[in-house]
């Protein structure tokens, strides 16, 4: 049986490339509580919040009620509109990241360009590119792809 992340045999378990920020935020909040987990998030943009950081066109807003477009563990009773606008949602995600100290897990301006599973070492090797073009690799036991279905749509 494989050891769990809290098993003393697991000294560290790097994880998680690309958790950009909407679903990623939720994962990081709970994974960050695991003492044996060495958590790293790579985000290609200059800041967190994914969809809501990138889309700034006039009228950009949520098409479902803001009260259900939020985390159950970080409820915001102050939404200004039933369908909150993009700016307000962006602020919400950034406030949640700040309140729960989640930014420390994120390296922004880091794009994941490749990921390969190595069955000999039972680890992922992830290739990354920084904004200045520098490339490097990282390895991890668990890789969570949170790059967003709509982020690079074709």
Ligand X SMILES: Cc1cc2nc3c(=O)[nH]c(=O)nc-3n(C[C@H](O)[C@H](O)[C@H](O)COP(=O)(O)OP(=O)(O)OC[C@H]3O[C@@H](n4cnc5c(N)ncnc54)[C@H](O)[C@@H]3O)c2cc1C
Segment lying near ligand X (by CB under 6 A), choices 6-14, 54-62, 73-81, 132-140: 54-62
Segment lying near ligand X (by CB under 6 A), choices 99-107, 115-123, 131-139, 142-150: 142-150
The answer for 87, left when phi > 0, alpha when psi is -120 to 50, beta otherwise, is: alpha
Residue with tokens 């690079």: 152
Q: Which is nearer to ligand X, 6 or 131 (CB)?
A: 131
Out of 76, 111, 125, 130, name the contact with ligand X by CB under 6 A: 111
Residue 25 CB, shortest distance to ligand X, in Å, is 8
Out of 11, 46, 63, 154, name the contact with ligand X by CB under 6 A: 63
- Residue 95: both structure tokens together: 């406030």
Q: Rounded to the nearest 5°, which phi and psi values hold at 29?
A: -55, -45
Residue with tokens 């909150």: 84
The DSSP annotation for 46-85 comes to SSS-THHHH---TT-B-SS-GGGSS-TTS--TT-SSSS-B
Other residues' Cβ atoms within 10 Å of the Cβ of residue 65: 13
- Asked if residues 126 and 138 have their Cβ atoms less than 8 Å apart, the reply is yes
Out of 3, 4, 56, 64, name the contact with ligand X by CB under 6 A: 64
Of residues 1 through 30, those in contact with ligand X by CB under 6 A are: 18, 20-24
Residue 129 CB, shortest distance to ligand X, in Å, is 8
Out of 14, 16, 28, 62, name the contact with ligand X by CB under 6 A: 62
Chain positions contacting ligand X, by CB under 6 A: 18, 20-24, 42-45, 50-51, 55, 60, 62-64, 69, 111-112, 146-148, 150-151
């Amino acid at each position: 049986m494989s050891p769990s992340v809290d098993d003393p045999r697991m000294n560290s378990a790097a994880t998680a490339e690309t958790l950009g920020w909407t679903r990623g935020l939720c994962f990081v909040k709970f994974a960050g509580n695991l003492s044996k987990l060495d958590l790293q998030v790579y985000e290609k943009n200059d800041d967190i919040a994914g969809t809501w950081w990138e889309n700034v066109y006039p009228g950009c807003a949520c098409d479902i009620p803001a009260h259900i477009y939020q985390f159950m563990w970080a409820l915001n009773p102050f939404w200004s509109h039933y369908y909150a606008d993009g700016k307000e949602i962006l602020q919400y995600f950034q406030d949640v990241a700040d309140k729960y100290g989640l930014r420390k897990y994120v390296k922004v301006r880091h794009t994941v360009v490749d990921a390969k599973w190595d069955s000999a070492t039972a680890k992922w090797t992830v290739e990354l590119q920084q904004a200045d073009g520098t490339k490097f690799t990282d390895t991890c036991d668990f890789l969570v792809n949170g790059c967003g279905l709509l982020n690079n749509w074709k």
